[in-house]
Structure formats: structure tokens, C-alpha cells
Amino acid sequence: MMKYNIVLYSIVGLIAITLLSNIIAYPFLPDQVGIHQSAGEMDNYVSKLVFVCLLPAAQIIASIITKMTEKSTFTLVILNVAIVLVNAFLIYINV
């Protein structure tokens, strides 16, 4: 039970980090945030508000699906860490 609590708190913390970093970056982001790059050029955009909610929502959905399919807790943590890193990269290339 203790291991489950640590994993749960870690996942909630990673989602909070993603959301807080997006909220902090919000004033510095362009009105249309690039979310996909092809051949070095952005080719898919969303509004700032959608971007702020997009990856935290993806983390929540992915965590629920991963837990429902009974994947390992390691997979769950790695998935959320990867999303935090992708989020940081998207903020970096858009600011």
C-alpha cells in the first residue's frame, strides 16, 4: 500500500508540475502555440489556453488508461516524466 501511495503522489506531482509550468509560461507564449514540427517548421497550432490544459489532460488520461490496463508502475512514472519533458520542450521552442 505504501508503494502505491508514493507512486500516486509522484504522478499527481508530475501533473502539477506540468500544469504550473504552463500557467507560468502562459504570458510569454504566442497566441498560437506550435505543437507539432515537421522539417524544422511548426505545422500544427493550438491556442494558448488549449495548450495550458492539453498535456496535463493527456497525462491524466494516459495515467488512467495505463492503470486500467494494469501496466507496471514504472511504466506509469516513465510515461508522466516523458510528458513533462515534452511539455518543457514545447514551451522552450515557443517562447
pLDDT at 91: 95
pLDDT digits (tens, 9 = 90+) for 77-90: 899 999 999 999 99
Instruction: Delimit the domains of the chain by residue range.
Output: 36-95
Question: Which of 83, 67, 91, 93 lies closest to 16, judged by CA?
Answer: 83
pTM for the full model? 0.84
Q: Is the pLDDT of residue 22 over 90?
A: yes
Q: Is the pLDDT of residue 71 over 80?
A: no
